[in-house]
Amino acid sequence: MMHQIMKPESRERGASVIEFAVVLPLLLIILFGIVEFGIMFYDKAMLTNAAREGARYGIVLLGEDVSGNPIRHEDTDIIGVVTAYCGTHLVSLGVGATPTVTVTVNRAGPASLQDLTVHVQYPYSFLLLPNFLTFLSPTLTLHAEVVMKNE
C-alpha cells in the first residue's frame, strides 16, 4: 500500500483559508464600525450646524422695537429652520427619527444683550453594529447646543 504524500503548497493553502475564515468576522466588524461611527460623527456635526443655523436665524431679529418690546422670531420658526436643516443633511438611511429642538432666551438685562440658546437632541440608530455586538445599544442620543449673543 502506498501512501500519497501531500505537497506542502496544498497544506498551506488550506491553512490560509482557515485563517481567513477566522479573521474575516473581525475584519467585517472593524469595517462596519468605521462606517457606522463615521456616519454618527457626521450626523453630530450636522446637528451642530443645524443648531447654529437656528440660532443665527433667531438672533438676527432679537432686539427691541421703538416702545421697548422684544422683537424676535417665534420659537416655532427657529425649530422649523433646525428641523429643515436636519431633514436635508442628516444621514439616517430611512431609520432616523426627527430631532427634538429646544429654544430658550436668557431675558436678564436689556434685549440687546440677551442670549439665544438652541439645543438639539437626535436619537441616532445604528444600522448593523448592534446585530454583531450585543453589548452595544441600538440607539445613541446625540446632543448639540449653540448659544449666540445679541450684540
Q: pLDDT, tens digit, for every residue of 115-140?
A: 889 999 999 887 777 666 666 677 88
Terminal Cα-to-Cα distance of the chain (whole angstroms): 98
pLDDT (0 to 100) of residue 60: 78
Residue pLDDT, tens place only, 87-110: 888 887 666 678 999 998 876 666
Question: Can you give the pTM of this predicted structure?
Answer: 0.75
- The position carrying cell 488550506 is 14
pLDDT (0 to 100) of residue 116: 87
Residue 94, sorted as left (phi over 0), alpha (psi -120 to 50) or beta, turns out to be left
Which of the residue ranges 3-17, 36-50, 133-147 has the most confident prediction, judged by mean pLDDT? 36-50
Spatial neighbors of 85 by CB under 8 A, at least 6 apart, are 46, 49, 50, 53, 54
pLDDT (0 to 100) of residue 97: 79
DSSP state of 69: -
- The position carrying cell 427657529 is 78
- At position 118, the amino acid (one-letter code) is V
Residue pLDDT, tens place only, 43-71: 999 999 999 999 998 887 655 666 666 66
Say if CB 64 and CB 48 are below 8 A apart: no
